[in-house]
């Protein structure tokens, strides 16, 4: 279910959240543990949404855990970014999620390679430790088994 992948280092990238705040990741991840949802396609927001109740609950229970959504896009011009970010702001319904959604406009292949993501057909869920190393990973929508595994991992780590 989850893979212990401590050798994978989250790459240094820049992004801006949907509230307009600039981030340099992984430096600006704020948790001792960071729960990170990586999506590559607009329709994958539905899969991310299946995780948000669990993420919100876990974040409320563990002050050292913070979750982030990272929609990953190819490099595009600033006008196209503005339109895409605006569309994402409209589509995000969970309270506070806009501040937690950091849009990335990057070269996707090096990013995927750094995190050992073979394709863009599923979302990827990572737990990153304080050194921004991936210590837990799963693909796809949330279900009861994945939620339990994540909860057990977080409880055992924090």
Q: Of the given ranges (41-45, 69-73, 87-91), which has the lowest mean pLDDT?
A: 87-91
Cα(34)–Cα(77) distance, integer angstroms = 29
The 10s digit of each residue's pLDDT in 99-147 is: 899 989 899 999 999 999 999 999 999 999 999 999 999 999 999 999 9
Per-residue pLDDT at 158: 84
Quick check: helix, strand or coil at residue 62?
coil
Instruction: Work out the pLDDT band at 98, boundaries 50, 70, 90.
Output: confident
Whether the per-residue pLDDT at 6 is higher than 60: the answer is: no
Domains in the chain with CATH codes = 13-157 (3.40.30.10)
pLDDT of residue 94: 59
- Note the pLDDT of residue 93: 61
**Per mean pLDDT, which range of 58-67, 91-100, 122-131 is the poorest?**
91-100
Predicted structure pTM score: 0.88
What is the reported pLDDT for 86? Answer: 64
26 cis-preceded (ω within 30 degrees of 0): yes
Q: pLDDT value at position 1? A: 46
Candidates 153, 120, 109; CA nearest to 11 is 109
Contacts of 151 (CB under 8 A, 6+ apart): 54, 58
Q: What is the DSSP string of 89-126?
A: HHH--STTHHHHBEEEEE-HHHHHHHTT---SSS-EEE
Residue with tokens 């600006």: 28
Q: Where are the beta strands (DSSP E) in 7-90?
A: 13-17, 22-25, 33-39, 65-74
Residue 156: pLDDT band by 50, 70, 90 thresholds?
very high
Dihedral sign computed on CA atoms, order 62, 102, 99, 17: positive
Helix or strand or coil: residue 82?
helix
Confidence of residue 83 (pLDDT cuts 50, 70, 90): low
């Amino acid at each position: 279910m989850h893979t212990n992948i401590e050798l994978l280092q989250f790459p240094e990238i820049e992004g801006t959240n949907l509230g307009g705040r600039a981030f340099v990741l992984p430096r600006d991840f704020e948790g001792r543990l960071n729960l990170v949802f990586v999506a590559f396609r607009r329709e994958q927001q539905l899969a991310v949404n299946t995780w948000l109740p669990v993420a919100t609950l876990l974040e409320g229970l563990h002050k050292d855990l913070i979750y982030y959504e990272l929609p990953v896009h190819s490099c595009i011009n600033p006008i196209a970014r503005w339109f895409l970010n605006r569309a994402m702001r409209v589509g995000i319904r969970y309270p506070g999620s806009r501040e937690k959604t950091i849009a990335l406009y990057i070269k996707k292949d090096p990013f995927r390679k750094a995190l050992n993501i073979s394709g863009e057909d599923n979302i990827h869920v990572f737990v990153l430790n304080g050194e921004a190393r991936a210590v837990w990973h799963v693909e796809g929508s949330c279900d009861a088994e994945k939620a339990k595994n994540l909860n057990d991992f977080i409880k055992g780590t924090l």
